[in-house]
Structure 1
Amino acid sequence: MKRSLCSQFLLFTLLFLSAINGFAQEKITVKGKVTSSADNEGLIGVSVSLKGTSTGAMTDPDGNYSLSVPANGILVFNYVGYETQEVNVDNRTTINIVLVQVSKALEEVIVIGYGTQRKIDITGSTGSIKGAELTKQPVLTATQAAQGKLAGVQIISSGAPGTQPVVRIRGTGTMLAGADPLYVVDGVITSDIRNINSADIVSMDILKDASSTAIYGMRAANGVVLITTKKGSVGKDLRVTYDGNVGFRQVANLVTMASGPQYATYIGDINAGLPPNEQIALPGNQASTEWYDEILRKGFQQNHNISVSGGSEKVNYFFSGSYLTDEGIVLENKYERFTLRSNTDFILSSKVKLGNQLSFSTGQTRDVNLTGAYNDSYRAAPIIESKVDGKYGNTSAFGNVGNPILDIENNDNKLTENRVQGNLYLEYSPITSLQVRSAFGGDFFNNKRRIYQYQFFNTEATFITAGGNQRNDRSLLEIRNDNTFRWVWDNTVTYNHKFDNATLKVLGGVTTEKYTNDNNYGSKKDIPSTKDQWYLSNTGDPETAINDGGGEKWSRTSFIGRVNYDLMNRYLFTATFRADGTSRFPSANRWGFFPSFGFGWILSEENFLKKQTTFDLLKLRASWGRVGNDQVPPNSATSIADTGIPYFFATQPVRGTAITQIVDENLKWEITEEYDIGLDFSAIQGQLSGTIDYYNKKTKDALVRVNLPAILGDADGVYLTNAASFVNRGWEFTINWSHRSNENFKYNIGFNATFNHNEIVGLNQGQALVAGTVGQQSFTTKSDNGQPIGSFFVLQTDGIFQSQAEIDASAQKSAKVGDLRYKDFSGDGQINDDDRVYVGSYQPKMYFGLTGGFTYKDFDFSIDCYGNFGNQIYNGKKGARVNATDNIESDVANSYWRSDRTNTGVPRASRDILPASTYFVESGDFFRINNITLGYTLPKKTLERIKIETLRFYISSQNLLTLKAYSGFTPELVNPASVAATTQTPNADATLAPGIELNAYPTTRTFTFGVNLTF
């Protein structure tokens, strides 16, 4: 009996425990939403799992999830860039979670072309700068404000008002066919962004490697710059913002020229070595004019921007207007720009969205002739007065250049630019994961230049000293009109679906582009000097009238596709394909095909690294891609014949027809292949982050101009063909540190560096390309196998002859004591082009940027620096000293060779033309403090009382200090041909002969005071 009762008790106990266990294992459905601590927005793709099991789900695009789990289970929320959270279910059916962001940079969204992507999901090499960073600097374009901020991106700017900087992404990407990157503004392709107000920009994203740029195929060989402008926000109240600054601009560095007495001494030493009949006669009354002081000034500048934005559930809007004035540092030089922008989105239904981005800009530039006034100020004799009692000092009567003041005041050169740019789009989403988009973008550009040259004579009433060659006997009016229209029609379909442990995004589409340009030119002499009569139809000499014109037209059609695949938030794959057809090439070579692949592996999500606490993110990337370049004139594959050309037959001239342009009928694309290997990391709770990249890109079938035998009759003696290959390879490093010490103090510091090696590896037809003519020195650069593009190729100096015995033992038998000695590398006993050697190029071996700043309570401070090392500059202005009466630099005046001053590297005073040599080649190394800004924001309590959202005052300085080795004006040299806004035809000297200072506009230093106001 007792045994039976005991058995029954044990059985009851087991059944009771089983019931309890069964109850504990009962499952319930838990739903909820996961949002970000940064902006309270839902997070897509968050991993929600039951701890200790493989059961899990992913959040949808709005951050929602649903999961069946035990009532007493533990949920684990995991998302890259956020702290992992564990939450007890406790029988709850609704659990909303706010994830705390570890590194904001990881969740940053990047524009990638025809779409966006989280930075962490990108498999290519990209860079991004927010609009707030761009507006810190008082500059015309966003690219200039980006100087030194991104690894792999070299930006060279000019101080001249209204000019666009030169941008080189990972080295020089071509030898002829347009080396500038592609610009895309809100989906509109363009080559000029001077019309974009920096205060309207949300972000500027730069695609660097072939994997990320391949979606733009034919235009992407030199990188892509994507600019996104601001929009209103749904459900946000009306917001008004004003950003403005005023200040002045001054020359940052001047070359000191010889004074009147120094110049007179130098001319006297020239005369000492000449027979009496060849000596230079100096005027009796000698001045001491500093010509740069005569033509330079402090230029006033101002920039005012006002915007209105807001939105409702059905519409959001952004309207802005801006006015900018930039007086150049050269007299009469000035640039003005006025812009309007309207960005509007209409939410017609849950499935249909319509919107537009539209801008208008108008600008006026009062140009000065840098090859005249500025160059002449370097060469003008200081012993001549500039201007006295309304009369000009006649430097030309002294056998010298023209008077720079007269050149400025005698020419009225005005450029007016009007531009309308916009994009209209329609989006339709039949289901949540599918989006169909059609966008039409247009860019209309009207450019009108009017130049009037006044009439003046060599008279006592005009010049202090009559005579000379500076005169203009008849007035001249020149007018040129350019009209350019480019339109792009993009049609894309995007499928984006989230699976249990993967995300798939597929893009496909067709895009069509057309470009047209027409221009006309006219001129006539003897037009009256009254501005109201400056029309070609006005009275004037009809016999001098010239009418000319031209145009350009081309089109492109492209098919695009891209696949992005994310597996388990750790394995990433991207594949892109684009097929481009262009009218620029012959029909047989019209189509180009540009694939790319990218892979990413987020190591920090692997189990073997889960427990480590150092890295928040550790990600490996590898990519390969092929892109193209079709930037050649549309008629490059068309033979051109001119009529009416005289030909002498039996001593009698006969008019006939001749081919003046010989073409390669097999002309084809330039192709660039590139692979990139990169590492992205974030550590110490997002305080430390950075990237490391190695890239290797090779350009094949590069377009170059090859010399032709004269018997073939081509007017230029050259023809365009695919005949070169070259590589750019290097390393990029970026590291950033940000730390908040307490609630009042936060600081950040960042550094980036790029090491690039450029080398020509195959001139297929064996013809080296020479360029860079300086005065009477002939060429200065030579591009050949084994050398960087545009390498300086000159004679090597070897000191100065100190005695006749040295001359007799040299290859320069006609030299004089005090002359430069050159090395006879050929050993043939004479100095000629066979003795030239390579001495470097303008392309730096390393360039870098350094940024830093802090906030303390309501104060903020930032500093940006950049520089480069390992490049050379050719001092062309010194090499182009044509006349013996040209002025010299003060350093030359103080150190040129004399019998009582022999320990010097500067040759004697002479009227001889010096050949191109290392005497003119100098180091281009420099370090610049590019911008310093100090700001103060009114406290929130004060703002609440006056009902203002933000109010900040700041002072800023641009180009405060430059440390440089170069003796000239600036180590940053911009070839004007490479920044022409409407020029579609590439200029060879822009890439084959950079780094020659001839007419460089000096770098300017700017001081400004500004206000940021929002209410």
Structure 2
Amino acid sequence: MKSGSRQNHNVSLSGGGENISYNASLDYFQNEGVLVGNAPDYERYSGRINTVMEKGIFKVSPSIYYAHSFENNLNYRGGVLTGGRPPLINDLVMAIPTLALYDENNAGGYAGTSSQIHQTIALNVPGANSLFETTTEVDRTFAILNPQLQILDGENHKLKYKLNLSYDKTIARDFSFIPAFNLGYFFNSGISLLDQDTRVYTVGLVENTLTYNGTFGKHNFELLLGQTFQSNKAETTNAHSENLPQPYYPVLSNGENQNAGGSNNESSLASYFGRLNYNFDDRYLITATVRRDGSSRFAPQNRYGTFPSLALAWRLSNEEYLNLPDEVSNLKLRASYGELGNQNIANYLYQPVINRNILYNFDGASVTGGLQTSIISEDIKWETTTSFNVAMDASLFNNAVDLTVEYYNKETTDVLVGVPIPASTGSINQAPVVNAGSLKNSGVDVELTYHYNNLEDFNFDISANMSTINNEVLALGGNDEPVYGTGAITQVGGEVGEHFGYIYDGIFQSQDEVDNHAFQSAATAPGDVIFRDLNGDDVINAEDRTTLGSALPSVTYGLNFTANYKNFDFTLFASGAAGFYINSRLYRTLMWSTDYVNSHTDILNRWTPENTNTNIPRVVANDPNGNARDSDRPGWLQKGDYLRLNTISFGYTIPSETFNDVLSSSRVYATVQNLHTFQHYKGYNPDFNSGVFNPGFDNGTYPRPRTYMLGVQLSF
């Protein structure tokens, strides 16, 4: 690892006249990563122009945004680095300390492990990251044109028509070049590889809305009717070439075995919607909405879905007859019920496709034929989330304290997700997207804020929030068969991706203990893990697995503190989560054996005949007892609770008279991001992202870098 750098520069200009105003900005961002080698690095240039033109009943606000970015990606080539490689950070930690960095005798100039010397399979990560070049260059153009016409503009009646047109085009160019290299056995290639891809994404939107505002005494109405149409197009072109001659000039035509391919797919979304807002005397408030959405990602019979919602609120503090205490500045009760649809899946997943390049034997000859090689669900339809919320909003003590308490209950039915299927089906797609049952999330959200403004030169705001979540799987479709993830299970009545495996009952200390326990393995010996026989059949097998704990945080929380003293300002932001466990691939690999990879220091306390007071089993080749199987043995499931100090910032605003009014304002500041994380977890990040059915499995995440920033803001 190394120290990286980050810089961000922004210049904006605004102005205008009687009928027009504008704002233009230019931005530059650059980030150099912390891993030795080519990646990860990122650089972006962007510009934006916003204008507002208004004359009489006509108004238009066009805007255009353009960005160009260049990124060096951390990316493996599965066909080059064999063995189902984990993320680079895992290889970096597991690499043995006797592995050199450079070796001029190897192709590429970097060292690798030798089967005769090291007796290990370890990757030279800085070498791979320096030799492999994988970049993505992106150009994005986003434009909006939204003319509107004020048809009626009376004191009590207003009618407005608005047309919203947007165009979003992204062109991405992927470049991957791998020279011939030798990084040890399992990690070498005698030929160079070049791949170049182009991806073009185009999104167009047309939206028409008509809005009416009316006031009748204490009655206030807002009625909105609208229609949208969105088209999405994605085109890809890919080309491959290999065995380029040295010295390398990575152009496709220089290599051999050249081939090309591509794809083109489209989708569209059509919607009709209406919304009514009603307010009586700022005491009773109603919002009613209905949407009718149609998606081309579903078959014609399932294409459309209707999604209504209703929200009610009662501002009790405006009711004179209630005579609320003076300490209550504002009090509102609200409730809502609504449905929301989801169609965020790939295109054409409901359509069976014939593979026309299937070779089979016919009458002694090889013949090309056709066959459906991927299982699909032709009946997929809209996923629907139904939400019910009840809340209270209060401001107390002359608005010094704000309090919000909300209970929510969300039930999602017809969940769209890729469900793993057995390889015996013969399907190329091992996780076809289906409507896989339903699940429910419920909990309480609480937010509390205190405003201190009693001193002329000093004030501060401190706010804290907390959210609880209770997840329950209601149905899984079909016969409600459980869905298995990596050391996880999703089953009706439980949570999504609960940890799943065997129960740890200690370490065998003698052969008598082994002989008197349920059979685990013919090679089980003192020093091995004791697994509990849950079904009492005197054999430890798959039937003895059970759920081992939640992979989802039961509570998340945050804290934000801002303060000002004269010209000084201070900000602190922290967040965290609790009530869940993590299954770490990296830790388990480091605890597997001392023979093949670097190990965690915890393994120094492993069981030996001289060290029996330990919960870490013996180390033995090939692990015949299966000590490393999914279980709740110490370290295999680790508490994920954490509190992260995300941002601490300190600034000073320089008085304008210091610069003789040349500057209207100026501010300097210093910021530290990711200052520290308080955690039990022995991995890097307890808040990683993982798959749907194994949310608690950390395959290997990169450490978050601590960033120190100095900045200045100048306004002329």
Whether the TM-score (by the shorter chain) exceeds 0.5 is yes
1:900 aligns with 2:610: yes
Q: For the Cα contact (< 8 Å) 1:933–1:955, is it kept in 2?
A: yes
Is residue 956 of structure 1 aligned with residue 671 of structure 2?
A: yes
> What is the rounded CA distance, in whole Å, between the counterparts of 1:457 and 1:343 in structure 2?
53
Between the aligned partners of 1:319 and 1:490, the Cα distance in structure 2 is: 25
Moved more, 430-439 or 807-816: 807-816
Task: Give the SS at the match of 1:377.
Answer: helix
Output the CA distance in 2 between the equivalents of 1:502 and 1:330.
62
Shift of 1:794: 1.7
More moved, 332-341 vs 596-605: 332-341
The one-letter amino acid of 1:415's match is T
Distance 1:876 1:709 in 2: 23
Q: Which one has a larger percent strand, Structure 1 or Structure 2?
A: 2
Q: Pick closer, same or farther for the CA change 1:409–1:711 going to 2, 3 Å.
A: closer
Aligned to 2:165: 440
Distance 1:677 1:372 in 2: 43
In structure 2, the residue matched to 1:483 is 200
In the aligned structure 2, how far is the partner of 1:601 from the partner of 1:516? Answer: 45
1:555 corresponds to which of 268, 273, 296: 268
Q: Would the alpha carbon gap of residues 369 and 701 (structure 1) be closer, same or farther in structure 2, given more than 3 Å must change?
A: closer
The yes-or-no answer on 1:867 pairing with 2:576 is yes
- 2:709 & 2:20 partners in 1: Cα distance? 37
**Paired residue for 1:740?**
453
Deviations 1:224-273 (A, max 9, x none): xxxxxxxxxxxxxxxxxxxxxxxxxxxxxxxxxxxxxxxxxxxxxxxxxx
1:330 aligned partner: 35
1:967 is aligned to 682
2:538 is the alignment partner of 1:829: yes
**Structure 1 position 540 matched with structure 2 position 255:** yes
Shift of 1:764: 2.7
Q: CA deviation at 1:513?
A: 0.4
Match of 1:428 among 149, 153, 166: 149
Secondary structure of the corresponding residue to residue 464 of structure 2: strand
Indicate if the aligned counterparts of 2:68 and 2:139 stay in contact, CA closer than 8 A: yes
Decide which of 910, 918, 923 is 2:632's aligned counterpart.
Answer: 918
Q: Are the structure 2 counterparts of residues 798 and 735 from structure 1 closer, same or farther at C-alpha, using a change threshold of 3 Å?
A: same
Q: CA deviation at 1:372?
A: 6.0
Instruction: Give distance in 2, aligned partners of 1:372 and 1:557.
Output: 40
Q: Does 1:786 align with 2:496?
A: no
* Stretch of structure 1 that moved more, 338-347 or 721-730: 721-730
**SS state of the match for residue 391, structure 2?**
strand
User: What is the CA distance between 1:323 and its match in structure 2?
Assistant: 0.6
Which of 334, 359, 363 aligns to 2:69? It is 363
5 Å-filtered alignment, 1:454-853, equals 454-457=179-182, 468-528=185-245, 533-536=249-252, 538-541=253-256, 544-610=257-323, 612-648=325-361, 653-705=366-418, 714-716=427-429, 719-772=432-485, 779-810=486-517, 811-813=519-521, 814-853=523-562
Residue of structure 1 equivalent to 2:82 = none
- Quick one: higher RCO (CA 8 Å, sep 6+), 1 or 2? 1
Cα 1:662–1:373 shift into 2, 3 Å:
closer
SS of 1:968's partner is coil
Asked if 1:345 corresponds to 2:52, the answer is yes
Structure-1 residue corresponding to 2:112? 394
Distance 1:964 1:319, change over 3 A: same
Distance 1:320 1:478, change over 3 A: same
1:1010 to 708, 711, 715: 711
Change (3 A) 1:610 1:350: farther
TM-score (norm 1): 0.65
- 1:358 to partner: Cα distance: 1.3
* 1:640 counterpart SS class: coil
Shift of 1:470: 2.9
Alignment CA distance shift 1:720-1:468 (3 Å): closer
Aligned residue for 1:866, secondary structure, equals strand
Take 2:531 and 2:219, find their aligned partners in 1: how far apart are those partners?
A: 69
**Matched residue pairs, number?**
686
- In the alignment, the residues of structure 2 paired with residue 832 and residue 628 of structure 1 have an alpha-carbon distance, to the nearest angstrom, of 42
Give the 3-state SS of the residue equivalent to 1:613 in structure 2: coil
Seen in structure 2, the aligned counterparts of structure 1 residues 912 and 641 have a Cα distance that, compared at 3 Å, is: same
Q: Distance in 1 between matches of 2:484 and 2:476?
A: 16
Distance in 2, matches of 1:659 and 1:470, equals 36
Query: What pairs with 1:42-441 in structure 2 (closer than 5 Å)?
Result: 296-331=1-36, 332-333=38-39, 334-347=41-54, 349-369=55-75, 371=86, 373-387=88-102, 392-397=110-115, 398=118, 399-432=120-153, 433-441=158-166
Q: In the alignment, which residue of structure 2 is the partner of 1:993?
A: 694
- One-letter amino acid of the counterpart of residue 937, structure 1: T
8 Å Cα contact 1:380/1:395 also seen in 2: no
SS in 1 for 2:199: strand
Query: 1:396·1:402 contact (CA, 8 Å) conserved in 2?
Result: no
Cα distance per residue 1:725-755 (max 9 Å; x no partner): 1001110000100111311111111000000
Q: CA deviation at 1:445?
A: 0.9
The answer for unaligned runs of 5 or more in structure 2 is: 77-85
Classify the secondary structure of the residue corresponding to 1:429.
strand
Structure 2 residue 600 is matched with structure 1 residue 886: no
Q: Which protein is bigger by CA-based radius of gyration? A: 1
Deviation at 1:655, TM superposition (A): 3.2
Judging changes above 3 Å, is the alpha-carbon distance between structure 1 residues 705 and 826 closer, same or farther for their aligned structure 2 residues? farther
Taking structure 2 as the reference length, the TM-score comes to: 0.91
The C-alpha deviation readout for 1:686-727, integer Å capped at 9, x for no partner, is: 211121110111111223455778897643366443231100
> Greater share of helix residues, 1 or 2?
1
Aligned to 2:79: none
Q: CA shift at 1:653, angstroms?
A: 4.7
CA distance in 1, matches of 2:681, 2:424: 45
What is the distance in 2 between the residues matched to 1:330 and 1:872? 28
SS in 2 for 1:901: coil
Q: Per the alignment, do residues 396 and 448 of structure 1 end up closer, same or farther by CA in structure 2, a change over 3 Å counting?
A: farther
Q: Secondary structure at the match of 2:586?
A: helix
Alignment root-mean-square deviation, CA: 2.2
* Percent of matched pairs sharing the same residue: 30
Distance in 2 (CA, whole Å) between partners of 1:372 and 1:702 is 29
